[in-house]
Structure 1
């Protein structure tokens, strides 16, 4: 049984449904043997709880199931769950083979009716390897808007990471003797020079990495960054390929639509390593022979290696930082042929120049709040002497989620242990929390104290901006206007007109002018803000501006324009905030009201 976060850390889970699965010592011994084929095993003795688990517990699109059923319970449950996409294969493990084959032959996902344990183990192991290969090939594609992996590769690993990883692995594979032995080998024999062997031999390390990349499990990815770094370093020493190479995979209709809509995008990326083959006929044969019980699309990627791909044995493997653009998409009978050209601007630097907190803040900045939160909690354990930074990060995340009391608690924890040189920033954050809690008197008090400790222009401009926001909320508009103008004046002396902080200043001034009834003056400042934010691609700030512009057009009774701006704001907030965030809820309420007025 998996113990880490109560989730399977590999791609495939195994379920055994039999009313005697846990009833005898013999069957408990069978469970141990089954785990040698698929580590994550769940047993059920009735159809109701089994079906509930399959439908509701295994709800991650990336999790796939191999199901073992007895003859009697199999007849009862398979009709109900056979269509579910998370189920990739089914085995009927029974005594009466002939009788059960009569009904089993009606279901495509049933791979066999089996009466001996050895045959069952052999078939599950074969299917698991085949299914894993298909799942590993079915990696997703997305627009590469962030620099997560280049940053990750520049964060030095430490012995703490390996100890943390080993602790997770020993817990995850507890009772699995085969994997325990492999973990011991890793503990004593792994070196940076044999990373590719650990990857291509499909060890537990490989399976953990592939699943983590598929679902973006940031804790595991972070702990495995040494493995990613070692693979990238080894690839540097492999021969480059300039040939056209091929990979096949099954893709959903949504993925096909994404490809069609991205044909002019210049910066796409797979969410894992691209592994390809020089033999087109071999790839096509494998693609056509791949079982397709879920109605997926067969896709052949024709990849221009562009000296980026590296030769390792019979494979061509591309670094994880590889990006690509699509040059064409064609339909040839049953197969879509997607031609892509790869590029990679990232250069691996043996000297590690980044730190873990930069990654956690990047995740927060691009809207991956849950992943950022998990990483900050991990850093609490790994770097106790820097807990003030972790608490600060957790406070910012709670603030982004609209959990302002929790945010204040984290900031206060940080303040208790923060070194003097970081005290001003901590006081400023506490002021922000009080502001969100509508305790404006305390907010202004903390801002004022922070301002006396700040020694740089950017910090002073930020603090003045925050004070202006609080004055505005407290209906002290002249004081707010004065703070915002002082902040903008400082920033204009030091920053370019397209800098995000200039955009923030224009936004704040727009809000004040709007509040004071100067609507056209406010719109002028909001448009200036959008120019700054469009250059810097700060979507959450654009969302805030759109929301404020929508309010102005509501006041001007230009309801169509108001609705358009609210919808633009909603779209961006949905990408960067939780569904229960107060701003998003407010915007959706306004959209509903405006639609009712039409």
Structure 2
């Protein structure tokens, strides 16, 4: 902390930048008479915070920060501001504020003692370039610190009815997660699949110049061998991918399918190259992570001996000191240091040392493929609210129960009998009970199917009818069943209905 000395004109008004939906930045000042060079700041922070809004009213500003639904934000207080005392009193009690910066055009800033006592206070800056660099570092840390979507199973599941129900739910979640991964990694390559991404991105971010510039750069420079570089760059791409994986947003995953495949293939190639060069069969990796107390107690501490399955790509580091940087000391959460032991006895490595391919080589990052499974070996309290969780890399095949493996194989055979990725996704969504989404995909397929393709029209109408039937809408189900039969020759109807009934 402390002053960063330089002469830079102060920004005015209230500026809200949104980087990813979980980390907005709010720029506060009460003086609306100083002209804000919006274009200058927008360009300066491009790639860190992509969306810019200006507020002139102090009440709107305070209402925005104190909104009960507001997510954790970064706050920059810029001079001049004449309501500092009032603002500080509010800030002291706000959990929404993840970090506080002061930006001033002089070395003098009154009433900072109250702010200095807040553990989230990051310092006073007089150089906007220095401020930019610190914000970049903060966002880089947040990339690691963001919650990871995972599923855990108990070591002794099945000892009573409740455990059996929870265990069954976890196993089903694991199976469907594995199938989601398979669908996107094994999706047939289409010539224009990147165009889907660019078209969608330009529509969604039509009014976001900074993000459109990044998309333009991505379109111009991207190739499959640069997937890791772009993944580790602090742009929306990283956030969009992991958000889609966390939330099982199939529309967005479909748009990003080329990037998922490229990233996984590059990781696999590097991983195999790493195995040939490594002199040791045992590697220890680290990750600093924050977690809610409820999640830690229920999903980690009580699951020692069980499995932990990661739904997305997982960033770790060979360097303990790097991981400890990301263990955020915050009394409202549990700070966790994951110590991950990787035994190289497995035939295929599921992580890669990406240091020389990364945008941030100093992190000494190793990246795990999505769907990696670990066993929770131990949980140890380091001090107060800080814990060390020891994980061991686990072979998915070794850890699968026989019934689970049978379910996976059966569902995979059914899903992969479908011809395209959309057919496979629709089939899986139906099996998952997500009827509305499955119906949406089957309807899209029907709308894009030529009426001359009679068998496909029959098939899709029948599937839509099945969904309406499951949703308890017999009239719509009957209508689609009739439309399905209309396209069949009379002598084919009994055979078709028999086959569909058999494959339900």
The TM-score with structure 2 as length reference comes to 0.67
Matched, 1:92 2:102: yes
Match of 1:329 among 379, 382, 403: 379
Match of 1:101 among 69, 88, 112: 112
1:221 maps to: 253
Gaps of 5+ in 1: 1-5, 347-351, 381-385, 390-413, 464-490, 496-500, 502-598
2:150 maps to: 141
Residues 179-221 of structure 1, C-alpha deviation per residue, up to 9 Å, x if partnerless? 6555334223322223223233445533443444444443333
Residues 243 and 304, structure 1, Cα contact 8 Å, conserved in 2:
yes
C-alpha separation between the residues in 1 aligned to 2:245 and 2:105?
A: 41
Greater C-alpha radius of gyration: 1
C-alpha separation between the residues in 1 aligned to 2:256 and 2:477?
A: 47
Deviation at 1:269, TM superposition (A): 1.8
1:355 maps to: 421
Q: What's the secondary structure of 2:37's corresponding residue?
A: helix
Deviation at 1:55, TM superposition (A): 5.7
Residues 489-534 of structure 1, C-alpha deviation per residue, up to 9 Å, x if partnerless? xx6xxx9xxxxx6xxxxxxxxxxxxxxxxxxxxxxxxxxxxxxxxx
Deviation at 1:453, TM superposition (A): 7.3
C-alpha separation between the residues in 2 aligned to 1:456 and 1:7?
A: 58
Matched, 1:317 2:355: no
Q: What's the secondary structure of 2:175's corresponding residue?
A: coil
Matched, 1:296 2:334: yes
Residues 153 and 228, structure 1, Cα contact 8 Å, conserved in 2:
yes
Match of 1:45 among 53, 56, 71: 56
Matched, 1:260 2:301: yes
Q: 1:449 to 1:165 in 2, by over 3 A?
A: closer
Matched, 1:154 2:189: no
Residues 313 and 368, structure 2, Cα contact 8 Å, conserved in 1:
yes
Give the structure, 1 or 2, with the largest relative contact order (CA under 8 Å, sep 6 or more): 2
C-alpha separation between the residues in 2 aligned to 1:154 and 1:22?
A: 58
Residues 48 and 235, structure 2, Cα contact 8 Å, conserved in 1:
no
1:187 maps to: 219
Q: What's the secondary structure of 2:99's corresponding residue?
A: strand
Residues 297 and 335, structure 1, Cα contact 8 Å, conserved in 2:
yes
Residues 363 and 371, structure 1, Cα contact 8 Å, conserved in 2:
yes
Residues 137-174 of structure 1, C-alpha deviation per residue, up to 9 Å, x if partnerless? x4231252312111111113435432232244456386
* 1:356-371 alignment runs, 5 A limit: 356-367=422-433
C-alpha separation between the residues in 1 aligned to 2:256 and 2:421?
A: 15
Q: 1:278 to 1:115 in 2, by over 3 A?
A: closer
Q: What's the secondary structure of 2:112's corresponding residue?
A: helix
Task: Work out the number of aligned pairs and report it.
Answer: 415
C-alpha separation between the residues in 1 aligned to 2:231 and 2:477?
A: 58
Q: 1:168 to 1:274 in 2, by over 3 A?
A: same
* 1:425-440 alignment runs, 5 A limit: 426=461, 429-430=464-465, 433=468, 436-437=472-473
Match of 1:376 among 435, 441, 452: 441
1:342 maps to: 394
Matched, 1:421 2:455: yes
Deviation at 1:337, TM superposition (A): 2.2
C-alpha separation between the residues in 1 aligned to 2:374 and 2:477?
A: 53
Match of 2:76 among 51, 68, 82: 68
Residues 327 and 340, structure 1, Cα contact 8 Å, conserved in 2:
yes
Residues 305 and 375, structure 2, Cα contact 8 Å, conserved in 1:
yes
The TM-score with structure 1 as length reference comes to 0.57
1:508 maps to: none
Alpha-carbon RMSD:
4.4
Structure with more of its chain in strand, by fraction: 2
Q: What's the secondary structure of 1:98's corresponding residue?
A: coil
Q: What's the secondary structure of 1:112's corresponding residue?
A: strand
Deviation at 1:116, TM superposition (A): 4.7
1:393 maps to: none
Gaps of 5+ in 2: 1-16, 152-169, 356-363, 398-407, 409-417
1:269 maps to: 309
Residues 399-438 of structure 1, C-alpha deviation per residue, up to 9 Å, x if partnerless? xxxxxxxxxxxxxxx9x95843245552685597589457
Q: 1:224 to 1:42 in 2, by over 3 A?
A: same
Deviation at 1:245, TM superposition (A): 1.9
1:165 maps to: 197
1:250 maps to: 290
Residues 444-467 of structure 1, C-alpha deviation per residue, up to 9 Å, x if partnerless? 99499679676466834867xxxx
C-alpha separation between the residues in 1 aligned to 2:312 and 2:255?
A: 16
Residues 185 and 260, structure 2, Cα contact 8 Å, conserved in 1:
yes
Q: What's the secondary structure of 1:132's corresponding residue?
A: helix
Q: 1:104 to 1:86 in 2, by over 3 A?
A: closer
Q: What's the secondary structure of 1:158's corresponding residue?
A: coil
